Structure 1
Amino acid sequence: MKLNKMRNILDNNKSSVNTRIWSTWPTVVEAAASTGNFDYFEFVAEYAPFTLKDLENFARTCELYNVGSMIKVDFQNRFYVAQKAVGCGFQAVLFTDHETPDDVRETLKMVTPKTPQDGGKFGYPNGRWIGYHPELKQMDYAAMNRSFVKAFMIEKKEAMDNIEEICSIPGVDMVQFGPSDYCMSLGWNCADHQEEIKEAQEKMIKVALAHNVQPRVEIATLEQAEYYKKLGVRHFCILDQMDILMNAWLGVCGDVKKLAQTIK
């Protein structure tokens, strides 16, 4: 059985730092991993195109550098993509757009092993996570399946209305607040409701910690990390690949373009 780095982090109450990657090119993961600054990488499948071969290569590269792996999946095809991703070796799945406790329970049932004690729907697919040969004992496989981390975006008004019940559901390991979708579900623009966003996120953090669910925050600066650390947060998602590129393209690239336009 392979050690699930993500589960090991949670079980030992450790902190974690990750970044989001849009590209399926394994070299991007290798380059980021070579810094030694990340505990895991998240592939944002919700945003980017991919094939199943891409998922295998992403997971392989994370394993090569002894870091964990997470995939963020769309709501509509979440069962298929989550099961395929876990079979490819991903150690965590971040589920989007859930609104009700029943949404969460349905998802957990579909990605939980089909055993008498678990009562899930996930069977015994051959693949790289069991070494390609179905020789792993079925109950060992079920334990490995059971260990992958289930994270949920809290990004709808309805999800926040139900945050206490969602965080009390067995199997919910991690939650993250999503301000853009949250505001959209209320008919708001984020820029006009910063105080309400802050209040909602802090409520999610407080409720999650009270139920032994780990909150994760998406940040861009050290100062933000220090702020959330004081609230009890220990899991930090720092920017994403597109943020980093756009900051460069709009920053120094834009500055040099303006300079170049002054050259006669």
Structure 2
Amino acid sequence: MPVRMTLPPTLAARIAASDRPQFGMWVCSANAVNAEIAAGSGLDVVLIDAEHSPNGLESILAQLHAVAAYPVSALVRPPFGDAVVIKQYLDLGVQNLLIPMVDSAAHAEEMVRAVRYPPHGIRGVGSALARASRWNRVEGYLTDAASSVSLFVQIESAAALDHVEEIAAVEGVDGILIGPADLAASMGFLGQQEHPEVVAGVLRSIAAAIAVGKPAGVNAFAPTAADRYVEAGASLVLVGADVALLARASEALADRFIGAPSA
């Protein structure tokens, strides 16, 4: 007799059920041990990145396995919003997707179709072969698959900012996440995430999501920026990354025990 499985709640459902913002960190090392360490940290979300990290399907799967035992949401970002890539991620068992560089409502609608089975979308049907349904051990998976997936899209460009209200309102988009670094670059302020126009764009995006009853997330490694966006109503704040923590902590060790190199 097979074990009948129940999938964990999505990130969108956890945000809706929580009385506080969710806080998370990136795992960019493509390493399952690091993902497991992050998952046991007490943070709410582990974001496994494949856009700016050396992650393939096998390493993502290993990280999903590593974090599955912990009470966190695994949010996974593919390198780009492609229906074939999304199908593979969903079949791996990714329940929470973050699509980078979504610049229009039409693009967001394409992403919604990519995560849904026909007749509401174009997701290929392979549930019997896939971890998504635990190889058909999740009862009614095909019928209820849409409720087991949450879709977040990123606002990362001046074009997206121009259309953020329409993007946030797309039916099937569960939330947005603002990327201030790319947004700053697109607005002509490369490396200036704290430029007043960039901050105003982030605040506008948060307000746009709140206006349609959806969560807004933001990348904010600086605590003062994180506090600002929480105060503005952000429901998800990403406050660090495994590789950045290792880089800064190892540099601090070198500074403490070796000091600055002599001239």
| TM bucket, shorter chain | 0.7 to 0.9
Q: Give the match for residue 132 of structure 2.
A: 129
Structure 1 counterpart of 2:37, one-letter code: A
Q: Distance in 2 between matches of 1:218 and 1:71?
A: 14
CA 1:83–1:146 in 2, change beyond 3 Å: closer, same or farther?
farther
Q: Distance in 2 between matches of 1:236 and 1:128?
A: 29
By how many angstroms is 1:141 displaced?
Answer: 2.5
Whether 1:27 aligns to 2:49 is no
Q: Give the match for residue 195 of structure 2.
A: 194
Whether 1:101 aligns to 2:105 is yes
1:6-21 residue pairs with structure 2 within 5 A?
6-14=11-19, 15-21=21-27
By how many angstroms is 1:160 displaced?
Answer: 0.5
Q: Give the match for residue 151 of structure 1.
A: 152
Q: Is the 8 A contact 2:10 2:149 kept in 1?
A: no
Task: Give the TM-score taking structure 1 as reference length.
Answer: 0.86
Q: Is the 8 A contact 1:167 1:207 kept in 2?
A: yes
By how many angstroms is 1:162 displaced?
Answer: 0.6
CA 1:250–1:78 in 2, change beyond 3 Å: closer, same or farther?
farther
Structure 2 counterpart of 1:237, one-letter code: L
Q: Is the 8 A contact 1:60 1:89 kept in 2?
A: no
CA 1:260–1:180 in 2, change beyond 3 Å: closer, same or farther?
closer
2:259 alignment partner, SS class? helix
Q: Distance in 2 between matches of 1:235 and 1:22?
A: 18
CA 1:225–1:99 in 2, change beyond 3 Å: closer, same or farther?
closer
Which ranges in structure 1 are unaligned for 5 or more consecutive residues? none
Q: Deviations 1:40-95 (Å, cap 9, x if unpaired)?
A: 211110012223222221111221123221111222x6322222222112221111
Whether 1:87 aligns to 2:88 is no
CA 1:187–1:232 in 2, change beyond 3 Å: closer, same or farther?
closer
CA 1:90–1:56 in 2, change beyond 3 Å: closer, same or farther?
same
Q: Distance in 1 between matches of 2:28 and 2:11?
A: 20
Q: Is the 8 A contact 2:96 2:152 kept in 1?
A: yes
2:124 alignment partner, SS class? coil
Q: Is the 8 A contact 1:92 1:149 kept in 2?
A: yes
Which ranges in structure 2 are unaligned for 5 or more consecutive residues? 1-5
Q: Is the 8 A contact 1:20 1:43 kept in 2?
A: yes
1:258 alignment partner, SS class? coil
1:47 alignment partner, SS class? coil
Q: Give the match for residue 162 of structure 2.
A: 161
1:64 alignment partner, SS class? coil
Q: Distance in 1 between matches of 2:141 and 2:193?
A: 51
By how many angstroms is 1:216 displaced?
Answer: 0.8
By how many angstroms is 1:254 displaced?
Answer: 3.8
Q: Tell me the matched-pair count.
A: 255
Q: Give the match for residue 233 of structure 2.
A: 232
CA 1:241–1:78 in 2, change beyond 3 Å: closer, same or farther?
farther
**RMSD, matched Cα:** 2.4
Q: Distance in 2 between matches of 1:142 and 1:242?
A: 39
